Structure formats: C-alpha cells, structure tokens
Amino acid sequence: MRFHSAACAAVLSAAATTSAFSFSPLALPPTTTRNGALSFAPTTRPAFGLSSNSLAINPMSTSHASISTTSLSLAAGGGPEALDDYIATLANTESKLTSKLQNPKLVKLAGVAALPLSYVVGAAMTPSRRLAARAVGGVIAAVTAGGVGKSYVEDDVKRGCPAAIAKRLSELGVEDANVSDGIARLQEDYGVDDEDFGDMCTQVYAVYLAGMAKNPLAKTAELKELSNLKAALNLDNLQTGQAHADAAVSFYRDVTRFTGLDELDDEDHPDRVSLDKLIFLSERAFRQGGETEEAFTFEFSRVARALGGLSLNEAMERAKGVAMPFYERALASTRSKLQSGAVSSDMLSRARGTLGIDDVEAKEMHIEAFANEVRVQLGLPEEDDDDMDDFNADQDKRVGTLKEVNDKLEAMKVAEESKVVEDTSGIKFSDGAYDTLSTLQQILGLTDEDADYEIAAATTDYWRQTALSTLEDAINKTKTPAKAWEIIQSRQKELFLKDADMKEMMTNMVMQALGRPLEKVNGFARVNNAAATMDGLIDAIAAKETCKDVLKEAEWVEFEDFERACFDPDDQSSACGFLTNQDRHNMYNIFFMRSVSATEDGTKHISEESYALLKELRSMLGLSEEEGINQIRNFFGPELQSVLNMATEEIVRGNATDELLKNLQEKVDKVIDDFKLDEEMVRSYAGPLYNRAVEEIGANTPGGIPSTEEVATLASLRTLLKIAEEETYEIHGNTFGMAYRKGIKEALGTTGVIREEFRQPLEDLRARLGMSEEAGKNIYMEAIGARMTPMVEFISTEMERLVLTADQLAQKRGADYGEDYFKDGSKANGKLGLGTDGNIMSDIMGLIDFYVENGIVEKKVVGTKKVEKKVPSDEEGGEEKTIIEEEPVYESTYPITALGLECIDDQVAELCYRQFVVSSFTDQGPNAARYEASKATFGGILGLSTDKMEEIGSNIGGMVYDNYIKQAMSTKDALDQQDMMFLANIQGKLGISAEKGEEMMLDTQKKIISEEASALFDSGDITVEAIKAFREKCNSMGLDLETDVGLTKSRLVGMFGMEITPGIDSGEITMDSADMLAEIQESLGLTEEEGEEVVAGLIQERANGILVDIIGCMLRGMDNVAVESMEKLVQYAAFVDGDLGLDVEESNANRAFNMFANKDWTGVDEDVVEKQQSLLKTAFGMSS
C-alpha cells in the first residue's frame, strides 16, 4: 500500500508535545567540538576508567541514560573492539529521523533541500525515480504539518557517517584490499565534504589507536595494523598527527582520573605500560610516515606533552623501552635458529628499521646477545649471578676505631682463606661452539675485537684459576715446568682465548703467584723474624725460577728479561708493587745480614751461593745494582779502606821494592776475595787515595817537579791500586800543570819562539809530570796566547791609526789623542778606508813568523786527490810508465786566533787583512813574494774564514778590475790576450778563484756597457749606425741586452724598428731579406712574434701615409708622382701578401690601379708585372 506523503505528514504533525527528534526538555545542553561533533558533561564514572568526554567526538544522545557513556569509554582492549564499542555507542544516540530513514541518500537530499519532515517520511514510501515529482506535494504538506530544519538533518548525517565508517572498517578489516574504496564511497553516500569527512576519519583513527593502547600488551603486528588503518582511512601525515594528539590528550586525561602520578612513575604499572605503548606507536607512525625531522619533532612533542608533559628526549627513551624487548626477542629467536640457516643480518636490519632501534643501541644489544650465547656454549646460565655471591649487607657500614678496622680486615682475610675454591676445570666450550659463535658474530655484524672481548670476559676467570693452580703445582714441584705450560696452553685453547692476550694474562698470573709468598715474607720481616724471612725469601727465589722456567716453554721474547717484566716496583700490579720502598729494603737488609758468615779466624765473608741469591733477590724486590753495591760498601767498606790506607802509606814512605808490592798486593786481594768486592768498588776507594798521594808529593817537591824516585813511587802505587795511567792525567795536570807552564814560558825566552833544541826537553818534562798530550798542548796554547795577545793588540792599534783620522780615532776610543804619530815618527794622514802605505807590515810579518815557527799551524787531512806520476821502466832502456796515485789533501787549521783571544774586533781584523792584501799586491820590493805567500796564514791567525778572505780579495779585485777594464775598453772594443794575462796575474795575487775572476770580469764589462748604453740613448742624437755598432759590440762580448745591459723590452723594440726602417724604405730589406731581419731580431733578444709585430706596425704606418699621398696626387693631376707612390706601396705590400688593411673607395681604387697598370713596364719580367699588380689589387681591396 502506498501512502501519500501529505497524509503521513499530517499524522506526524499531530504528535505529542515532544521535540521533533524526541529530545527531552531536560537534556543537557550540548557543546560543539573543533570537528563539529557534540559532547556532554559526564554524570557518572564510565566503564574502563575513561571519562565520557574522552574524545570530543560523541554525537547527541537521546536519553539521560545514554549521556554518561562515550565511544572511548566503551572500548575494550584492541582497535577492532574499540570500533565495535564505538558503533554501539553511536547506535544508542540515533534520532527518530535516522531510524526511519535508513537510506543515506534520502537524508542527503533532505539535508540539501531542507524539506519538511512530512515530505521526508513520504519520500521514504515513494520510489526514488518519483522523488522529484512528489517533492512539490511534500512541501505543501509540510506547510500545514510543520517543517524540520536543515541543521537537524545535517547533525543527523554527522551522527550516521562516523558510525558507517567504523562499521565498514570493522566488517572488512584494516587489511582488506577494498576497505579504502569502501570507506571513500561513504563520503558520497552521506554527502559530506572533504574536510568534514577527513575529520570523521581522523576521529575513527583516534578511537582505534586508543583501543590499541588500552591493551598493555604490545605486538609488532600492531605497527603494520596501524599503517594499514592510516591507508584504509586515506589519512595524510597532518591528519595522522592530529589523531595521535587527540588520542593522547583524552587517553591521558582518562587514565589520570583514576590513576595517581606516583603510580604512573612505576614502569610496571598497567596504565604506565599503556601510556608507553601509545608513545611507541606514535613514534613509529610518525617515522614510518616519512615525516621530516622538523615535522616529526613537532608532532611527537605534541604527543609527549599531552602524556604528562614529557620532554622529547624522555618520550624517545620510553618509546625505546617498548621497542627494545621486541628486538631482544628477535635476537633470542636468531640465536635459537642459528643451525637452521633461516636467519640473516638482513632480517635483523629490517627488524631494527621497523622498531626504530638505532645502530648504537643495536650494537650494545648484539654484544649482549653474543655474550649470552657464549655462556650458553660454555654450559652456563645466560645471566651471571656471581656478582651477588660476595654481597655483604654491612660492607658500606663505617667503622669508628682502628681496632674495628683491624678486626674487619682480619675477618675478611679469614673468610677469603676459608673460601672453598670451586673446581671449574670442566667448564669449556661444547663441540661446534666455535662455528656457532662465528656464525652468530657474522649475523650480528660484530668485529673480531668485540667477539674476542666477550669470549675473554666470560672465560678468563676460568683460565686464571687453572693457570694459578698449575703454577702453584709447579712451584711445589708436583708438576714440571713443561707439563705446567702444556696444561695452561691447553686450557687456553679450550676457552678460545687469543695468543695475543696470553702474554699479559700470563704475566698477571705470575705476578699473583709470586706476590703471595712475598706478602707472607713481608709479615715476618715487619716483626724482625729474620729466620722466617730468610727461609721465605729463599722459597720465593726458587718460585721465581720455576715461573721463569714455565715461561721459557712459551718462547716469548718479552720474558727474556723476566725480572724487568714482572718485578717493577713502580707498577702497583707487579709482583712486588704492593710492597713499600721501606719494606723492600728491610727484607733485603735482613737477608743480607743473614748471608754474612764468619770463618774460623773471625773473618766475615759471603759465600758464592749467597752472592747469587742476593743478586736474584735484588731483581725480585726491584732494587738496583747500585743499591746492592752500596749495601756491600756500607758493610765491608771499612775493611777495604783500612787495608788500602795501610798499603798506600807504606809505598809513599819510599823504597817500594818488588817484595813490598807483592806482600801489600796479597793483603789487598785477600780482602777483596773474602768480601767478593767488585772492581768498581775498589776503584772508588783507590782513586781518592792516589789523588791524595799525588797532592802530597806536589806540595813537598821543590819547583813543583817530582823527583825520579817520586815518579817511581807513584807508578808503584798505581800498580798496587790497579789504576791506569790515563785515569791519573787530571790530578797530575792540576798538581803539576803550573811547573809545565813555567817551563814553556822559559823556553819562549825573549824572542817568543821555542828553539828546536828545547822542544824535546819540554816533551820529556810533560811525560815526567804525568800529564796527557792534550793537557800539555792546552797549557802550551795558553802560553802562546799570552805572548800573542799584546802583538795583536799593537797591530790593531796601529791599524786604527793608519786608516782613521785623529777625530775618528778619538770618537772610536772615546778620548782625544791629539796629533798621533807612528813608531817611525810619521803622522797619521789616512782616512776611513784603505791606504796603500802603512807602517805595520813588519809587525804583521813578525806575528806570522811567531805563529809559524812555534809550530801552531796544524795540517789536517780533509780528503784525497789523484795525481799522475812518472816511474822508470823495470827493464833497461824501457819507457817510463805513468801511474795514478791518491795523495792526501791537507787543510791548515789555526787552533788559536786573534778573534778567539778577543784581542781584536771583527771590523779591525778585516781591515788588517785588507791592508795586508793591498800591500802584497802593490809592493814591488823584495818582500812582495813573501807577503803574497803569507796572505792565507795571516787571515787564519786573525780567525777569518776562507769565505771571508775570498770576499775581501774579491772586493779589492773588483776595484782593480773596474779601473783596468774601463781603461782598456776605452781604446778598443774587446780585451786582448795581454789584458787577460794581466787580469789572471791580478787574480792569482789576490787569491781569487778562476770562477770568481770570470764573474768579476763579466760584471765589470756589464757595468761599462750599461754606462755606454745610457750615454748612447741620453745623447738625443742617436743614429742607425750607432745602434747597429752598439748591438754588434754587445753580441761580440756575449752580453744579453735585456738581462746583462739592462735595456727594457720597449727600448729593444724601438732599436729594432729604428735599424730596419731605412732598409725597408730604401728597398734594401725585402721579403727575400728574412735572414737579415731574423739576425737583427735575435741579437736584440726579441721573439719571432715580437719581430713580426714591429715589421707589421711599421709597414701599416708607412702604407697609410702612402695612400694619403696617392689620393692627393690623383686629385691634383700628378699621376706620375702617384704611380711612384704606388710602386712604394707595392714594395710594402710584398711583406704581408698585400693585406695592408687599407680602406679605399672603389672609384679611387679603380682609377689608381689603371694608372699603375698603364705605366711603362718595359724590361720588366711578366711574372713580376703580374705579381705587383696582384699585390696592389689586394692592397686596395679589389677583386682579382
């Protein structure tokens, strides 16, 4: 039956006095949220501890009973359950209109057209194709029956659409391939715009997320589930972030309503676990959504703040706390499936990416997993509980008195000694453990160092127990060293310990094994129990030797010096490092005193065995050999001192016969042998005794020279005391040096030269005084220096007076000398500089003679040279042979110099040498050759270096060269052979090397040519001939005009242009003169490009001028003159193949060419005519 809509409307309009959607007048006023949904204040505590306004997404309710429940408050644990509760909640809030109109398209049409309710009900009973035809009737009926507003229809749609989204999502599931399209079609069905539909999907996502968080149990599948939910609802990152923020705000508000903050601080509380899960899901959702770092920080910070005001870092740590157990389970699964081959490092990498585990955290977890597997392979539980075995509740309790401290230490010691050591020899890796651990290491990506460390951490203690007990067995002689090392090495291999670690570990074990007996002995020594100390140290030495033997089996070079490796007193971990310096010396002193025994005659001595034990003990206690020697000295020194004093006094009395020396030697040797005294100790006592004897003889000898008997006495004493003669040079020099110095001064006499007959007696005196050759030489040089100083000072003074005026001399010396005279009575008439006259040459030669005749100059071999020698033939009448031999090359050295004696300054020394060189050069008398031969000697006596002497000679030579060459070249262009011979002679006289002489000559020539060039170009009247002559002169002398003469590049270019211009203008230089141009260009130092540029510029300049003349002549009717100019133009054009770059009007070009073609060509070759005409055409820019 069909009813008209108007009838239905009439029925409905007669309803009771209720609102159109059955809202009670007592209903609480709704509030509109940001998303357009409505919410109400709660009246009772909701289910599951969540408030009724948990999410601001609750639609309007229809009764008081439904006001207190919300979508979130009805959610059970899990997303799908939350959706079911959400749908049920919305179902309880449907309006009558919604219940009547199940077709959302009708609701949409009603909402858009704002149709009266009577029409809407009628439309529900009318087929949809007649909907438009019936609309008019419905509207008319509504006028009388009362209308329904558009806003109520839209509110009803907003109630129905979220429920429809949640229902479809619940029915299809988040993993269904069609769920996204199915949800998207609901937007069209309900007529919701994009923004509102997006908000509704965001609401549904928040409901689902809150449901997932309510279940504290986190699962990795939820990450995929959340990603699928986002895709199903077609949410972008911004909407996802808003959904997480909304869920966090309401979820935290509901949780804290019934859970206190102190309970949320408990990491194991269910609500805290739920909050951490929400943080974890949010962090993963944002990261997997591809957010930028800035966007991630913003979105995640919002969630963190909403969940109790957490900071970003705190939230990240709590997210990690949820993620890490997942990865720990993945690692555990990896370990359990190693043998199956079903796990790989890529699988772990994907798991880390899913869970957000960074590389640093992953490495720590990988190392922990590897360590756990190591323990499992050893047959041990994964977790090591041994750390709690030694826990003492009172260990941090403070003690108040010294007695309490001692009691506590004693109790700890007793407990340690009574502690039963567990036998761990059976703990070792199972078969296949190596392959298993290697596979796990590879999958976990651990380095060899990390893996080795974890293995060592788990097994080292077990190896140490075996090694220590084995060493103790070896020390107790129950095992041989070889067997002990075999056991230790076998245990190492069982526990996979690396060879590289064994050396340090074995050292620690040896230190521990040897430290125990030393610690026990130290207790005896501190209470002066000498017998127990002695016995304990002997046992400790034996234990040390046993440990050495064990380590010898290892053949480690590091332990070749065993004592140094294991007994370092400065290392607290060494075998003796725990002993104080006082304890170590106390133990040694006790052992030393117990080692001293007495013979039947009461003589004290130490046996060979005891000496060896003392040496071993010193190395164990970290005592030096010097400390051991000092101990022996302190104990036996007085005995040695007594016998040596007696023997010395007996010999010094004189008459030291061989028998006396023999008897005394026997007494001394007996003491040395009895007390096992070393030579160093004997020398330390003998040296002072001998020195005292020498000083006594020196003090009692007239003139300081010992007699023959006294010399013999000292020789006998040296023999007895076993002192080498070289060791006594110093004391003999200090004692008898003055006597030798006096002898040298007397030998010098008034002349200052030691005559030849005095030299050997001086040498005999030195030997008699027991002085070394070096000491004698030093005294000799001191005496020579004392005599030489006034001679040099006099020469220096005379030199200053020679070259300085009285005013200059007064200024230098700070005093007015008035009119100064030389020793010959002449006045000083020099000036600052060189003088060629002087009065000091004889004084200088006297100094040279003094130096040379006293044999002070020393010859030192500095190398060798090869020389040819002629040797006669072995056979009679045979030819001479030439052989090559090497001869030494000597260099003169001057052990004492004027500068070294500081009796002359550098400036005056150079002036003296300069004066001497000038005098030797200018002197023409009989002394000239002597002066010249003594130049190097005088420079050496002054202390000048070879380079300085050559520099001074070069300066003088430079002045001579300048003057001579300038004078010679003023009359000729080049130096001849006679000039070169003269310069070579000068070079030899001044001691100038050949290379330096050539350099000076070249410098002088350059200077002269440069001056000539300046004069040439500054004259203002320069000619081509002068330029050519100057150029050729420089070329003949081998001088470069730019680098040697100093002409600029522009000047050289100008010279080239000036020299070639007349030749080009006259026709002397043509295209066939290329060699001439190249010769001029190269002699001027110009490149080919620079020469071509000059020629081109010159021709261009000339061509432009000639063109002007040609045009002018044609205008004036001077055709014959124009033709002559064209002949010149053709001459220039030949240099550049006619390309002169001229700008000629076509009419002028044609006229000029016709004039040139019509000239008289009689006697000219046809090829030449054709060539010249072609060049002119090209020059005028005419086509051929």
What pLDDT is attached to residue 303? Answer: 93
DSSP of 81-111: HHHHHHHHHHHTT--HHHHH---HHHHHHHH
Residue of 510, 521, 424, 420 lying closest to 472 (CA atoms)? 510
Q: How many residues does the chain have?
A: 1184
Comparing 494 with 1096, the larger pLDDT belongs to 494
Phi, psi at residue 923, to the nearest 5°? Answer: -70, 130
Name the band, by pLDDT with cuts 50, 70 and 90, for residue 394: low
Bridge partners, 888 (sequence order): 864
Query: In the 8-state DSSP scheme, what is residue 879?
Result: P
- Whether the per-residue pLDDT at 60 is higher than 60: the answer is no
Comparing 545 with 45, the larger pLDDT belongs to 545
What pLDDT is attached to residue 385? Answer: 57
Phi, psi at residue 261, to the nearest 5°? Answer: -65, -35
Query: Would you give the end-to-end CA distance of the chain in angstroms?
Result: 115
C-alpha span between 903 and 943 (Å, rounded): 11
- Token pair in block for residue 1143: 């700008």
C-alpha span between 150 and 632 (Å, rounded): 121
The torsion of the CA quartet 436, 440, 442, 447, rounded to 10 degrees, works out to -100
Where on the phi/psi map is residue 877: left (φ > 0), alpha (ψ -120 to 50), or beta?
Answer: left
Distances (CA, A) of 391 to 71, 351, 384, 404: 54, 39, 14, 20
C-beta of residue 13 within 8 angstroms of C-beta of residue 144 = yes
The torsion of the CA quartet 1017, 1023, 1029, 1034, rounded to 10 degrees, works out to 20
Q: Give the model confidence (pLDDT) of 471-502 as tens digits.
A: 999 999 999 999 999 999 999 898 999 888 88
| Coil, helix or strand at residue 692 | helix
| One-letter identity of residue 872 | P
Comparing 16 with 1011, the larger pLDDT belongs to 1011
Query: In the 8-state DSSP scheme, what is residue 821?
Result: B
C-alpha span between 963 and 62 (Å, rounded): 133
- Whether the per-residue pLDDT at 776 is higher than 50: the answer is yes
The torsion of the CA quartet 392, 398, 404, 409, rounded to 10 degrees, works out to 40
C-beta of residue 299 within 8 angstroms of C-beta of residue 286 = yes
Q: Give the model confidence (pLDDT) of 298-345 as tens digits.
A: 999 999 999 999 999 999 999 898 888 888 888 888 888 888 888 888
Q: What is the arithmetic mean of pLDDT over 523-548? A: 90
Question: What percent of the chain lies above the pLDDT cut of 70?
Answer: 78
Residue of 976, 1000, 978, 1005 lying closest to 990 (CA atoms)? 1000
What pLDDT is attached to residue 200? Answer: 93
Burial of 542 from C-beta contacts in 10 A (0-12 / 13-18 / 19+):
middle
Q: Give the model confidence (pLDDT) of 454-476 as tens digits.
A: 999 999 999 999 999 999 999 99
> What integer best gives the mean pLDDT of the chain?
77
Measured in whole angstroms, the distance separating CA 1119 from the mean position of its chain's CA atoms is 88
C-beta of residue 55 within 8 angstroms of C-beta of residue 190 = no
- Whether the per-residue pLDDT at 908 is higher than 80: the answer is yes
What pLDDT is attached to residue 21? Answer: 27
Distances (CA, A) of 47 to 70, 185, 644, 890: 9, 34, 113, 117
- Token pair in block for residue 731: 């004391």
* pTM of this structure: 0.49
Q: Give the model confidence (pLDDT) of 690-713 as tens digits.
A: 999 999 888 888 788 898 888 889
Provide the 10 A C-beta neighbour count for residue 830. 18
Residue of 759, 919, 910 lying closest to 845 (CA atoms)? 919
C-alpha span between 872 and 30 (Å, rounded): 142
Element (H, E) at 1073: none
Burial of 1028 from C-beta contacts in 10 A (0-12 / 13-18 / 19+):
middle
Residue of 193, 203, 210 lying closest to 251 (CA atoms)? 210
- Whether the per-residue pLDDT at 39 is higher than 50: the answer is no
Phi, psi at residue 827, to the nearest 5°? Answer: -85, 160
Strands 858-871 and 596-598: unpaired
C-alpha span between 537 and 592 (Å, rounded): 11
Name the band, by pLDDT with cuts 50, 70 and 90, for residue 962: low
C-beta of residue 1013 within 8 angstroms of C-beta of residue 1049 = no
Q: Which residue has the tokens 């102190």?
A: 262
What pLDDT is attached to residue 499? Answer: 85
Name the band, by pLDDT with cuts 50, 70 and 90, for residue 43: very low
Name the band, by pLDDT with cuts 50, 70 and 90, for residue 359: confident
- Whether the per-residue pLDDT at 830 is higher than 60: the answer is no
Strands 38-39 and 31-32: antiparallel
Comparing 656 with 732, the larger pLDDT belongs to 732
C-beta of residue 828 within 8 angstroms of C-beta of residue 801 = yes
Residues contacting residue 282 through CB under 8 Å, at least 6 positions apart: 244, 248, 299, 300, 303, 319
Q: What is the arithmetic mean of pLDDT over 609-625? A: 87
Burial of 214 from C-beta contacts in 10 A (0-12 / 13-18 / 19+):
buried
Q: What is the arithmetic mean of pLDDT over 524-552? A: 90
Residue of 751, 991, 742 lying closest to 849 (CA atoms)? 751
C-alpha span between 553 and 463 (Å, rounded): 18
